[in-house]
Structure 1
Amino acid sequence: MNKPYISVVIPVYNESENLEQLYQRVIAALDKSDKPYEIILVNDGSQDDSYDQLNELQKRRPEQIRIIHFNGNFGQHMALMAGFERVRGEIIITLDADLQNPPEEIYRLVNLMEEGHDYVGGIRKNRQDTFFRRYASIINNWLRYKMTKIRLSDQGCMLRAYRRALIDLMIASKETSLFIPAQAYRLSISPAEIEVAHDARKSGESKYNLYRLLRLNFDWMTSFTLLPLQIFTMLGLFISMLSSFFVVYLFLRRIIIGPEVEGVFTLFAIVFFLMGIMLMGLGIMGEYIGRIYQEVRHRPRYVIRKIIDDTNE
């Protein structure tokens, strides 16, 4: 078998209802060109029958399909990294298994890469998501740019293309809390973006609930900027100065007017407000300390249960 030119990495988590159609459409899209390719499907600890289905799909195209089974759920980005560490192609495509990004768009990204870019990100056109998901994404993209200056128009789109050299740089970083699209954009020499189609989910449910989305945002925030800590440092200095003036004011008022009991509840409100800010600041500081703790333990980012690879390479 020729060495693949294109590697498609697809993380899979409880997507048994979509796997057959995913296989048919990805194969059909890639077979339209004579460029050699491989498909790496990474089972991120699925609880449905994705394990058996993936094994059966691999038997249909054993020289082109490789399967990686995790022994638990390590997250989408770790599933991608497992695939990245085993790709053999020069251009690497990432794709979701839910078919919201049509596989038929793959060669549009490949063509743009062949123009000289080392990273191409997809921008979902006419997003088929809920009102909350669409506008939360807009706000999140704006915040990310303001905090990190990384110009990702759509960080939630999984249809992306990477040059092999860029993948090697990300593998060498060895970070455990890794936000791949932003990391690739930062390391890229010639990034580009392209609008891609976005369909409604065919079946099943989104694996990103509100909690997971919040965790993802904390990942990129703590991975790429110290701005939250710096904001709370400046806020702390400002409140300290304001409190000093307030103490002087209360002291002079007591001397001039005498003891007062009015305003006790106002003082309680101010105290609780300041306590809330302090706890929020401690929480953000804890996020950064937690990231450091994860890195210094040097635990494996993921654990592989089984690899099915009949490529003989």
Structure 2
Amino acid sequence: MATQVSALRLFDLIQSHRVTAVIYVAARLGIAELLRDGPRPLGELAKATGADERSLGRLLTALSTIGICKRTGEDSYALTEMGAGLDGEAEQSFKSWAIFEAEMLSKSWSGMLESVITGKTAAELQGLANSFDLMGRAPEIVYKFNAAMTELTRLVTPDRGFLPWLHWSGLQRSSKVSWTKDHKFTDASFLSPTLMRAVSLINLASVRALEEKIGMTLNPLRFRGNIYVSGLEPWQELDWIDKEFQIGRIHVRGLARTPRCAAVNVNPDTAIRDANLPKAISQHFGHVDLGIYRQALSDGELKVGDEVLEAMTLAKCVS
């Protein structure tokens, strides 16, 4: 039998969505940025945000209760160390994730009952193959996803030590491609186990087409592919979804387009953000994809120069 204490704990869990809502509104209003330089009175904050003063006061009280802000006077508020993470300019910011959580994830979780009953994902319930296709319907959703994932990546790799690993241009040895139950190549774990074990393929012709549009030379390693191919038409790889083809002696299947995130804005040679490539792809080509995820259907070895065969198409594996 539930005690009063356990029942109240349950009650807290039931209404915990309100915490996400409060943090989201603070992120959208830019409260952390306004308090970045020190405490400010409620009246100033209301004027700066364009919010109703009394309503904003209740929001700040809630933020103080959960430790995002603290009251420094009768009507004055300051930012806490934890609250500083809602500042979009902070090195360890989670502002974009707060927006992503409230505007995308919270809404998708509202359909959990139907997913549990039917065994289908939110994308499948709408007749789509996966969540990438669902996100791809609206570029603004992809931008929110990209911004949130960039923040998370920055937090878990604070020294950016992954950048030197991208210099694979001198690779000449063979690479073995195989499927194993627990090995994972991608960061798409929240989408499906199959995509988590997928391998990324980049069409160099698509990279060159993007270069021509933006007037800028791009190191293809920006796109963090496992396999780079030449000899195709630009964007031809996007037609390989749900199709089987062959790379060398390995039989593979295209799984999903790869929507590009803000990580590709970083130049792998300088570690400096020098472009907005997701926006450029969207503006010039009407989508935000470059490359595809593909699944190995058989084991085998890959080497530079292996042919990529799909119907009558012939291309070369260059790295």
Normalised to the residue count of structure 1, the TM-score between the two structures is 0.24
Greater share of strand:
2
Greater share of helix:
1
Q: 1 or 2 for the larger relative contact order (CA 8 Å, sep ≥6)?
A: 1
